[in-house]
Structure 1
Amino acid sequence: MTDQLPDGVDAFLASAGWRDAAIEPLAGDASFRRYFRVRRDGKSAMLMDAPPPNENPTPFLRAAKWLDANGMRAPIILAEDAARGLVLLEDFGEVRMREYLDQWPDDERAVYQAAIDALVDLHRLPPGPFLDYSMQEYQREARMFVDWYCPAQGLYVDGPGYTAAWEAALKDMLPRQRPGVTVLRDYHAENLMLLGSLHQQGLLDFQDALVGHPAYDLVSLLQDARRDVSPQLEAEMFDYYVEKTAPGGDFLADYARLGAQRNAKIVGIFVRLWKRDGKPRYLGYIPRVWAAMERDLAHPALAPVKAWFDANIPAELRAAAGGNFAV
C-alpha cells in the first residue's frame, strides 16, 4: 500500500467538516480499496478510498444505508463523493473480533454466539434491495478454483465436468434460498468489530451483498479462512443457529454445499492474489481453507463434486492441504 493521499481528499474532508484533520493510513485488505483514520478535535472517523475504475463505493453505500435503516450496525455514512470513490465513515475503533480472541481466547464461545445472534437478527429481516445469488454467480465463483489454482499447480483438468458437478450439487438447493435473506458474503472474524461489549457486532465489508441462502454467512463465520475454528465449536455454533432459527429442510447438507463452494472459490482467489496482485501472504491461508473444503466434500450432497476432485486433483496435493507453491 502506498501512503499517498487520495486526490481531492482535502476538499472532501473540508466539505464534511473535517478541515485540517490528521490522516493516518491503515493496513490494506485484499482489494484496491484503501483506508485511513482521520482525527480532529478529539474525534476520529474512517476514510475509505475506493477509486474508480477498479473500485466503486456505490454498492457499499447502498448496503450500509440499508443495514443501518434496519437496525444492524454498519458504519454510519458521514460524507460521500462516489464519483471520486471517497467515503467518510463512523469509526468503529480498534477492537476486531479476530484480535480480541487472540488476546482473550476464553471468551471464544460467547463472542461466536454473539456473532450468530447478529446473523439471526439479519436473517429475520426481509431481504434487502440486492440481486439474487444465482446459479450463474455460484458457478462464476467456483470457477476461480480451476481458473487460478489448477494452472498454478500445472494441472490440466476437466473444466466442463467441474461446471456440471457444481450444477448437480447446487440445483436442488436453489429453491430453498427463496425468498432468501441478505447475504453479506464475507462474514468472519476479521470483518466483525466489537463495539463496547462482546455482544454488539459492527459489520464491515458488505458491499457485495446478495439475496441468498441463510447458510452462506454462517459457513463463512464457522469455516473462517483466516482463523482456526475447531470442529467442536463449529458444530456447537451450527446447532446454536439452528436452535434460534429452525431453518427446516436439509440445512446441514446446504451448509456443506455452500462451504465447499465458498472454500473452492477462496482457494482460487488466494492464488489470484498471489499471481495477479503480488500478495503471496494469502497462500498461507490455503491449508486451513482446503481442510474445511475436504470436510464439506465428505457430505453425500457433494458427491458429484467430490468425484470430480478425486478424478482431477492428485491425491498428494489433497493430502498436503492444497500443495506447496513456489513463491
Structure 2
Amino acid sequence: MPFSTKRTLGSPEITGDLGAKIALWLRPGDFIALTGPLGAGKTVLARAIISALGPSPEEVPSPSFTLVQHYPDLRLPAAHFDLYRISEQGELDELGIEDALEAGLVLVEWADRFESALPSDRLEIALEDTSPDMREAMLIGHGGWDARLRRSVDLAAFIDGAGWTHARRQWLKGDASTRAYERLVDPASGQSALVMNAPRGPDGPPVRDGLSYSRIAHLAEDVNAFVAVDRHLLALDLSAPQILAADTGRGFLLIEDLGNCLYGDLIASHSDLSAPYEAAVDALCRIHAAPPPDGLAIGDSKMHPLSRYDPAAMLIEVELLVDWAWPAWKGAPCPHDIREAYCDAWSNNLASLGGPEVLTLRDFHSPNLIWLPEREGAARAGLIDFQDAVIGHPAYDLVSLAQDARIDLPDGLERHIVDYWLACRPAHVADISRDHFEADYALLGAQRAAKIAGIFTRLAERDGKPDYLAHMPRVLEFLRANLVHPRLAEIADWFDEHVELELEIGRCAATA
C-alpha cells in the first residue's frame, strides 16, 4: 500500500504553502498526477507549485485549452498538462510528456483519465471539496515516491520539533551529493537557520576486496561524521556551523546559517581576495597545528573513527578518470592493459607520498567557504561540507583551495596561498623541505584533478548533471600543469602516450 498523507486546505494561503513545500522536494524527472472533480483546485495547486519554483512567471494560466504550458526558465523546468479534453492514447502520446519528463518536472491534471499510462514513480495528489470553503488533498507516493513522501513528513516533524513550525522554508542549491538543504526564516524575528537532509547512503556493491567504493575511498555514510568534525572545528574556535538540533538516526540536522557570501561570489564580484584567502589558510594552519586524532567525539560516549587517506583510497579515486572520462573521450571503455599501466603509474607515485599527517577536510574550496568579515582571524572563513574528513597530507586541502575546480582564481593568488601557508605552517609540519612539499603538492593536485575529471563526467553521464562539464577545461589544465613536475614523469608519460590533454581541454572548452 503506497504511503499517503492528508492535508486540509482551508484558504488560498494554505494551498500556496502546500505548493511551496512540495516544490522543495522536486527534482528532474518527477511526475505529479493531480486528480479530483471539476473545481477541486487542481489548477490552483499546480499554479502554487510552479510559482514556488521561481523566479515566478508573470502568470500561470490553466492549460485547459492549450493542453500544455511550458515553463523552461524555473530552477527546475516544468511542463503543466491538462488531459480533460484528451480521449485517446494516440492524442496523449503526441503531447510530449516523455520529452518533458527528461527535461524536468511534469504536472498533469486529470491524470486518472489515463491511469494505466502513468509512470510507476509518481506523486499523486487527489483533491476533493469537503465543504464550500474547505478542500482536502491526499498525497500518495507511488514507487520511489513512497520513501520520499515518508521522508518529507519526517522532515516536517523534525522542523516542528525544533521549534521552527511557522518558518518560511526556502530551497537552497545543493552539491554533487544526495544531501539537500533548506533555509528556514522566522517571519517574526527574521532569524534563519539551515536544515540538512542527509539520509544514510547505501553502502553500494563491492568493487574491490569485498569492499564498496565508499568504504575504500572513506566517504561518510551518515551525518554522525559531520557532527563529529563540526564539534572538533568548533573546539578549535573555527567557524563551523553550530548544531541547533539533530536527529542523527534519520539524518536531519538544524545548523547555524553562516550566510550567503561564498568565496566564489567574492571572486565573481572582483572583491579583494587577500584577506579571505589568508583567513582560509589561517584556518588550515590551526587545523594542522592540532595533533591528528584517531577519532572524534559525536556525543558523550560515541566516537567517529577517522580513516587515513591511504594510497588505496587515492587510487580508486583516480580510476574514475579511466572508468568515466576515457569512455566519454574515446567512445569505448579503456582497454585493460592501458588501464593497468595507468593504475601502476599512480600506485608507484602514491606509495612514495610521505610527510606529516593532519586532519584533512578534502573539499576545502570556494563552494564550501563562506566569508564572515565581522569575525576575527581564522574565524572569518566559514567552513561547511567537511563530513568526509580523513587523516592525510597537509598539501591536500591547500591544493584544493589554491587549484579550485569551480572558479578561476586571479593570477598570482595560487602562489600567494602556497607561500602564505609555508610561512605560517605549524612547527610539527615544518620539517618537510620546500622542494619535497612542492613535489607532494603537485602529486596531490594531479590526483585531485584526475579524480574530479572522472566525477564531473560521471555526474553528467550517469546523473544527468551536464553543468559540471563546464569546469572540465579548468580541471584538465590543473592536471596538465601538475604533471610537469619531474616526480610525476611516469604518470605524465602515460598521458602523453594515451590521452592528449591539450586536445581534450580544447574539446571540453568548445562544448562547455
Q: Separation in 2 of the partners of 1:248 and 1:160?
A: 32
How far apart are 1:247 and its partner, in Å? 5.2
Q: Is the 8 A contact 1:169 1:303 kept in 2?
A: no
Q: Separation in 2 of the partners of 1:53 and 1:244?
A: 38
Q: Is the 8 A contact 1:316 1:323 kept in 2?
A: no
* Match runs of 1:68-147 below 5 Å: 68-105=234-271, 107-128=272-293, 129=295, 130-147=306-323
How far apart are 1:114 and its partner, in Å? 1.6
Q: Separation in 1 of the partners of 2:307 and 2:358?
A: 11
In structure 2, give the amino acid aligned to 1:310. Answer: D
* Match runs of 1:266-281 below 5 Å: 266-281=452-467
How far apart are 1:230 and its partner, in Å? 4.0
Q: 2:199 aligns with which of 51, 57, 64?
A: 51
1:18 aligns with 2:164: yes
* Match runs of 1:246-285 below 5 Å: 246=430, 248-249=432-433, 250-285=436-471
* Match runs of 1:188-227 below 5 Å: 188-197=365-374, 199=377, 200-227=380-407
Q: Separation in 1 of the partners of 2:155 and 2:453?
A: 36
SS state of the match for residue 366, structure 2? Answer: coil
SS state of the match for residue 131, structure 1? Answer: coil
TM-score normalised per structure 1: 0.92
CA deviations over 1:58-89 (Å, ceiling 9, x no partner): 21122112211232221111111122221100
Q: Is the 8 A contact 1:6 1:49 kept in 2?
A: no
Identical-residue share of aligned pairs (%): 41
Q: Is the 8 A contact 1:286 1:321 kept in 2?
A: no
In structure 2, give the amino acid aligned to 1:176. Answer: G
CA deviations over 1:201-225 (Å, ceiling 9, x no partner): 1101101000000000000000001
In structure 2, give the amino acid aligned to 1:109. Answer: S
Distance 1:225 1:310, change over 3 A: same
Distance 1:291 1:247, change over 3 A: farther
In structure 2, give the amino acid aligned to 1:160. Answer: E
Which range moves more in the overlay, 124-133 or 292-301?
Answer: 124-133
SS state of the match for residue 7, structure 1? Answer: helix
SS state of the match for residue 302, structure 1? Answer: helix
Q: Separation in 1 of the partners of 2:167 and 2:413?
A: 44
- Greater C-alpha radius of gyration: 2
Q: Is the 8 A contact 2:276 2:381 kept in 1?
A: no
How far apart are 1:236 and its partner, in Å? 2.0
Match of 2:341? 161
Aligned length: 322
Distance 1:321 1:218, change over 3 A: farther
Q: Is the 8 A contact 2:233 2:239 kept in 1?
A: yes
Q: Is the 8 A contact 1:52 1:85 kept in 2?
A: yes
Which range moves more in the overlay, 43-52 or 11-20?
Answer: 11-20
How far apart are 1:323 and its partner, in Å? 6.9
How far apart are 1:316 and its partner, in Å? 5.7
Distance 1:139 1:324, change over 3 A: farther
How far apart are 1:277 and its partner, in Å? 0.8
1:184 aligns with 2:361: yes
CA deviations over 1:250-302 (Å, ceiling 9, x no partner): 00000000000000000000001101110000000000111111110000111
TM-score normalised per structure 2: 0.60
Q: Is the 8 A contact 2:396 2:441 kept in 1?
A: yes
Q: Separation in 2 of the partners of 1:145 and 1:323?
A: 18
Q: Separation in 2 of the partners of 1:273 and 1:301?
A: 31
Note the aligned Cα RMSD (angstroms): 2.1
| Structure with higher strand content | 2
Higher relative contact order (CA 8 A, sep 6+): 1
How far apart are 1:319 and its partner, in Å? 5.3
Q: Is the 8 A contact 1:290 1:322 kept in 2?
A: no
How far apart are 1:324 and its partner, in Å? 5.8
1:314 aligns with 2:500: yes
Q: Is the 8 A contact 1:317 1:323 kept in 2?
A: no
Q: Is the 8 A contact 1:187 1:220 kept in 2?
A: yes
* Match runs of 1:29-40 below 5 Å: 29-40=175-186
In structure 1, give the amino acid aligned to 2:277. Answer: Y
In structure 1, give the amino acid aligned to 2:432. Answer: G
Structure 1, unmatched stretches of 5+, are none
Q: Is the 8 A contact 1:297 1:303 kept in 2?
A: yes
